[in-house]
Amino acid sequence: MIETVSRWKSHGGVQGVYRHASSTTASRMTFSVFVPPLAPGAIAPVVWYLSGLTCTHANATEKAEYRRTCAELGLIFVVCDTSPRGEGVPGDPNGAFDFGFGAGFYLDATEAPWSANYRMWSYVTGELPDVIAANFPADMARQSIMGHSMGGHGALTIALTLPDRFKAVSAFAPIAAPSQVPFGRKALRGYLGDDEAAWRAHDSVALIEDGKRFGTQVLVDQGDADEFLDENLKAPLLAEACKAAGIDLTLRMQPGYDHSYYFISTFMADHLRWHAERLR
Amino acid sequence: MIETVSRWKSHGGVQGVYRHASSTTASRMTFSVFVPPLAPGAIAPVVWYLSGLTCTHANATEKAEYRRTCAELGLIFVVCDTSPRGEGVPGDPNGAFDFGFGAGFYLDATEAPWSANYRMWSYVTGELPDVIAANFPADMARQSIMGHSMGGHGALTIALTLPDRFKAVSAFAPIAAPSQVPFGRKALRGYLGDDEAAWRAHDSVALIEDGKRFGTQVLVDQGDADEFLDENLKAPLLAEACKAAGIDLTLRMQPGYDHSYYFISTFMADHLRWHAERLR
């Protein structure tokens, strides 16, 4: 059972926000779905969008400017939260922005106390797809995935691990090698423990080194004025890993763009067209 | 002197947020400006956007989805605040959403204590245009104006009063006849006093009845599922006044749309194209 929080007509389709009791994260989870205008009985491909640190479903829903193009191309667009939240869910004791609430890193935590709720990997790849299939006119045989920053990390690692599920994958300014950067090392150690071997399943560069491949080409946009590029995102490491593995990566360094939704919204239509071509 | 609060590259242009000490409102005012990609030395027409109740510059800047089309058409887009704010500026004593902060109604108050700061008419038609002309590559001979709800009221009343200044005018769900509706009567009485004759300069329907005319055609979009339509917006009164006066109004009742930015963003590109045609 899902509860409708809000529902707006937009660009001829319906933008909704929904809530449900998630058994995976043992918490109530909120997500948004845009359904484009469809003929009665028709179904549409599903584009998954994973957000970055500090975000809820609301950031991309309000600011990513995907509805016009999704309506035009006939794409369902799903935005989930970035962590469990709410009563009984532990957050970072110091209220950090890069751990706990808003910082689930799209993995299943194995360390207490996080392991009871911080199971975003299983939520995003298992429970939520079932919810979407059951409640929306979704063609689950045609899915693709994209994300921003921490969500770019999520989109890449999920697509590398489930290459047959996704017809397209792209990212905006992804955390490409979390094992090697401050944001990632803190989160991976906290959620998965000190054994760095366990981190490799949640690091795109490590996954590629370990033989994983996408089922398709990859598109990444990265602003060259992004304040997180050098220390935490490290697009060059992804480019090197893809080159060494023979993966067809289109990495576009975008001059003057930063890490914000003003960057994402600029290139969203490009990404959606890239996805739509591969979802046909 | 204006201070740059934030500045982002977006859609090839620059979205900025700026602050300055306004002599008109005796307060610090914040506004946003999008400058499209321009050749060196080039100037561009200016589209003014006036927001609705409770908004600051941020709502439209983040959610109205104007940048792609403004970049394509070469339009500067200015969003101002909806009232003075800050230290020493009185707000509604009960914290009402429809009076005081966020509810300036684009008029110059004559009643104490509001008259010292609530001078949004003079700010939007006088001081801020001077600031834009001095600090941005703006072609002030080519201006147009649009707005939403209270800001639709502002756009219509300003364009009726200064018909030679604006090459185009449009509105999303405007408060068309504030003298006749609860939101408007409260604000007009509070800011201008009990003499309803003084209200007519700030009521589109009354201005038209009193002989004012736009310099051009008018475009209005109104959702038929808008929760404020019947009691506070009253598009039919505008349609009747325009018909009686021979004003060329295009009023589009949009089925299923409400009062939100999901409605505005759906039709923003249409409005900008309408403006661009008349700004050529």
Average pLDDT rounded to a whole number, residues A122-134: 98
Residue A36: CATH number of its domain: 3.40.50.1820
Q: Which amino acid would we find at residue A114?
A: W
Q: Tell me how far CA of residue A237 lies from CA of B88, B120, B122, in angstroms.
A: 53, 52, 55
Closest C-alpha among B241, B254, B222, B249 to residue B152: B222
Q: Is residue A225 pLDDT above 90, yes or no?
A: yes
Strand, coil or helix: what is A2?
Answer: coil
Domain housing A245: 2-279
Q: Is residue A257 pLDDT above 90, yes or no?
A: yes
Average pLDDT rounded to a whole number, residues A256-261: 98
Residue B270 touches partner A, C-beta closer than 8 Å: no
Q: Using CA coordinates, name the residue in chain B closest to A67.
A: B266
Class of residue A43 by CB neighbours under 10 A (exposed 0-12, middle 13-18, buried 19+): middle
Which residues in chain A have Cβ-Cβ distances shorter than 8 Å to B68?
A: 65, 265-266, 269
Measured distance CA(A121)–CA(A155) in Å, rounded: 11
Q: Which pairs with CB-CB distance under 8 Å and at least 24 residues apart come from B206-210?
A: B206/B177, B206/B179, B207/B157, B207/B160, B207/B161, B208/B160, B208/B241, B208/B242, B208/B244, B208/B245, B208/B247, B209/B241, B209/B245
- For residue B257, give the nearest of A9, A67, A269 by CB distance: A9
CB contact under 8 A, A10 and B265: yes
The catalytically annotated residue of B149, B153, B203, B275 is: B149
Measured distance CA(B96)–CA(B109) in Å, rounded: 17
Binding-face residues of A in 65-124 toward B, CB within 8 A:
65, 67-68
- The H or E element containing residue B190 is helix B182-192
Q: Quote the pLDDT of residue B260.
A: 98
Closest C-alpha among B54, B55, B51, B57 to residue B34: B57
Q: Quote the pLDDT of residue B1.
A: 87
- The H or E element containing residue B276 is helix B261-279
Average pLDDT rounded to a whole number, residues A90-95: 93
Residue A257 touches partner B, C-beta closer than 8 Å: yes
Measured distance CA(A50)–CA(A147) in Å, rounded: 4
Measured distance CA(A138)–CA(A41) in Å, rounded: 11
Which residues in chain A have Cβ-Cβ distances shorter than 8 Å to B266?
A: 9-12, 67-68
Average pLDDT rounded to a whole number, residues A25-54: 98
Strand, coil or helix: what is A196?
Answer: helix
CB contact under 8 A, A62 and B65: no
Q: Quote the pLDDT of residue B236.
A: 96
DSSP secondary structure letters along B30-67: EEEEEE----TT--EEEEEEE--TT--HHHHHHHS--H
Beta strand B27-35 with B76-79: parallel, antiparallel or unpaired? antiparallel
Name the stretches of chain B with pLDDT < 50.
none
Q: Mind telling me how many Å the CA of A131 is from chain B's nearest CA?
A: 24
Q: How far apart are the first and last CA of chain A?
A: 31
Q: Which residues contact B132 (CB under 8 A, 6 or more apart)?
A: B33, B46, B76, B78, B138, B140
Q: Quote the pLDDT of residue A51.
A: 98
Q: Which two tokens stand for residue B158?
A: 């300003």
- For residue A257, give the nearest of B9, B65, B266 by CB distance: B9
- The H or E element containing residue B76 is strand B76-79
Q: Mind telling me how many Å the CA of B61 is from chain A's nearest CA?
A: 10
Inter-chain CB pairs, A–B, below 8 Å: 64
Average pLDDT rounded to a whole number, residues A4-12: 98
Number of structural domains, chain B? 1
Q: Quote the pLDDT of residue B28.
A: 97
Closest C-alpha among B54, B58, B57, B59 to residue B92: B54
CB contact under 8 A, A262 and B15: yes
Which residues in chain B have Cβ-Cβ distances shorter than 8 Å to A266?
A: 9-12, 67-68
Which of A5, A32, A65 should be substituted to probe chain B, the one whose Cβ sees the most B Cβ atoms within 10 Å?
Answer: A65
Q: Quote the pLDDT of residue B56.
A: 98
Whether B259 sits among the annotated catalytic residues: the reply is: yes
Dump pLDDT digits (tens) for A163-216: 999 999 999 999 999 999 999 999 999 999 999 999 999 999 999 999 999 989
Across chain A, the runs of DSSP E, i.e. the strands, are: 3-10, 13-22, 27-35, 44-50, 76-79, 138-148, 166-172, 218-223, 249-254
Dump pLDDT digits (tens) for A56-78: 999 999 999 999 999 999 999 99
Kindly report the average pLDDT of chain A as a whole number: 97
